[in-house]
Amino acid sequence: MLEYSLLYPLNTETRTALKLDGMWRFALDWKNEGDEKNWKNHIPGHDTIPVPASFQDFYTDKKIREFAGDMWYETDVLVPDYMKGSSVYLRFGAATHRATVYLNGEEVAYHEGGFLPFLADITDKAKFGESNRVVVKINNELNETNIPCGLTVTLSDGRKMVKPYFDFYNYSGLQRSVYLLSTPENSIEDIDLSYSVNGKDASIDYEVRVKGDDDVKLSLYDEEGHFVTEAKGRKGIIIVPDAKLWQVRASYLYTLKISLVRGNQLIDSYQMPIGIREVRINGENILINGSPVYMKGFGKHEDSDIVWRGFNIGVMKRDFELMKWIGANSFRTSHYPYDEEIYRMADREGFLIIDEVPAVGLFESLANFFDAGTGKGAKSFFSKPTIPQLLKAHMRALEEMIVRDKNHPSVIAWSILNEPESTDANSLPYFTALFEKAHELDKQKRPRTFAMEVNSSPTKCHCYKLCDFIALNRYYGWYILGGNEIDEAENKFRAEMDEWKALHLGKPFIFSEYGADTLPSEHKLPSVMWSQEYQVEMLEMLHRVFDSYDFVKGEQVWAFADFQTTDGLMRVNGNKKGIFTRQRQPKDAAFLLRKRWTNLPLNYKC
């Protein structure tokens, strides 16, 4: 059994999934004494905090908000008697960045990596029919041996402080739902799916992993719940006659029911929505079901008022409605995998996702958003002695992401890094190992890429040839030749694009980031940087360049909404490049993009 959860938690005929969300007891370990004083048995004090949520911004004390170190969560869980004889787990949707889980004072799990789920097996530890104390120690320090990367320093008063190598706030805690799960002792553990469309029919190539020796049966149902077809065996092909395909912004979801049976006895049951669709790169085109697609959308963050990076189902609904209103069809999960509910929503709404592992900050700069964007700050990151340990953590995060997200029809590509120092020759073996691992793990063999900052130019980048499509983060007109030099920025941008064109790569390009910081209160005629008018003018300039090159097959503006960052002279209470405010209201640029995107055909430039 892998340490992390493979299947989305469901209640079925044979399984139970009980959410443990709510107010948990909470304590910050200011003196680093929790281990010595056995807080694993019971944490001190009477403070409580919501789960899921980030801990920082509930408080009015700056020292609490900026706390770095160990924080402790505690709750009491009744494990029902009816779970006896089952396998019983605690499932954590995410714990940022590393967590140790205790049940009744005994360690039951450790996990490093702050944006993917993991399990604590408590089958032999739980007291059934009684209350069990769950304590979780979480550490939010940053280092160069885990992703995302950064530093943790000690201030003169003894407090620790994180210094990220990335441009978003280091929100942390139990930021996604926690479940108590029970599954049969013999159970369905995982399934791999891939699809092939053959005229009106389709085939589903499947492989089910189970614990135990029981037989496997699969049944497929349409959206109205009508039976379509079935198959038997742990591995095989399901033929779907007159298949209804999952399409961009026009999804169709079948339900696949998987049963583990022993004669006529049902041992385990699991069901999942699936979308039949093929993803391929053909020359300079991105193909969904054989048809070319132009990607329109955003880089985003899980970031909103009150719960911060904690999952908020209402914010999710609002975000999708705004993306539909503006004419978007895609987004990148910058810069980490999002909550599973967002992928399920994208499956239903027909959005395309570039799924990104949390590999940001692999470029040593405490102002990565500025130094990287202007060509400064290169320090041979991939020559560091910490690289072997970092690669191991990166590989683990990549595997956890692909295992969790591989069966979502919305997920059409993997982004393996964001703005790494790929100008360092030592980056190539590091990147190669990751790209090969992604291909090995993914039965569907989705396209792979990484988001390249401006240093990763055609003449300096050592790794772009690994990509199935090229993803560029470019800030011409903002970090590069902004304001009155915007015409020069356009010329410089076109010069770079001409260099890419001269390589004749025969691959599609997308712009995975582009944009300008804009205060919603600022208007200026003529425009100046930070005004809404300038954001519009700069986007218009960038779009002119995009439209001039046939191999550009997508644009994902940075960013969907304003978001919180670390304090700094380049930020006014966060990153203000949002097309929408942090409260999800439109800036002027939203109307520009709505006009453009609702008029661009899906097969634009194809």
Domain boundary among 183, 212, 229: 183
Same domain, 226 and 311: no
Tell me the C-alpha distance between 188 and 12, whole Å.
12
pLDDT given for residue 365 in this prediction: 67
**3 belongs to a structural domain:** no
pLDDT given for residue 569 in this prediction: 82
Tell me the C-alpha distance between 272 and 274, whole Å.
6
CATH of the domain at 245: 2.60.40.10
pLDDT given for residue 406 in this prediction: 97
pLDDT given for residue 456 in this prediction: 94
Among 284, 453, 490, 513, which one carries the catalytic annotation? Answer: 513
Residue that the structure tokens 């499509």 belong to = 469
Same domain, 88 and 211: no
Give the whole-number percent of the chain exceeding pLDDT 70. 97
Among 74, 356, 364, 419, which one carries the catalytic annotation? Answer: 419
DSSP conformation class of 442:
-
Tell me the C-alpha distance between 547 and 550, whole Å.
7
Spell out, as residue ranges, where the chain has pLDDT lower than 50.
1-2, 366, 368, 372
- Count up the domains in the chain and report the number: 3
Same domain, 206 and 146: no
Same domain, 257 and 395: no
pLDDT given for residue 201 in this prediction: 96
pLDDT given for residue 4 in this prediction: 55
Return the SS3 of 554.
strand
Same domain, 344 and 296: yes
| 490 is a catalytic site residue | no
| 340 is a catalytic site residue | no
**6 belongs to a structural domain:** no
Same domain, 193 and 125: no
Same domain, 566 and 487: yes
pLDDT given for residue 153 in this prediction: 97
pLDDT given for residue 571 in this prediction: 87
**313 belongs to a structural domain:** yes
Same domain, 306 and 233: no
CATH of the domain at 382: 3.20.20.80
- The predicted-structure confidence for 437-474, as pLDDT tens digits, reads as follows 999 999 999 999 999 999 999 999 999 999 999 999 99
Same domain, 173 and 39: yes
Domain boundary among 277, 310, 332: 277
pTM for this predicted structure: 0.96
**330 belongs to a structural domain:** yes
> DSSP labels for 466-528?
G-SSEEEE--BTTTBS-GGGHHHHHHHHHHHHHHHHHT-----EEEEE----B-TT---SS--
Cβ atoms 596, 590 nearer than 8 A:
no
Same domain, 146 and 125: yes
Domain boundary among 150, 183, 216: 183
Consecutive H or E run containing 432: helix 427-441
Same domain, 131 and 196: no
* Domain carrying residue 43: 16-183
pLDDT given for residue 1 in this prediction: 42
How far out from the chain centre does Cα 310 lie?
13
Same domain, 41 and 122: yes
- The predicted-structure confidence for 129-165, as pLDDT tens digits, reads as follows 999 999 999 999 999 999 999 999 999 999 999 999 9
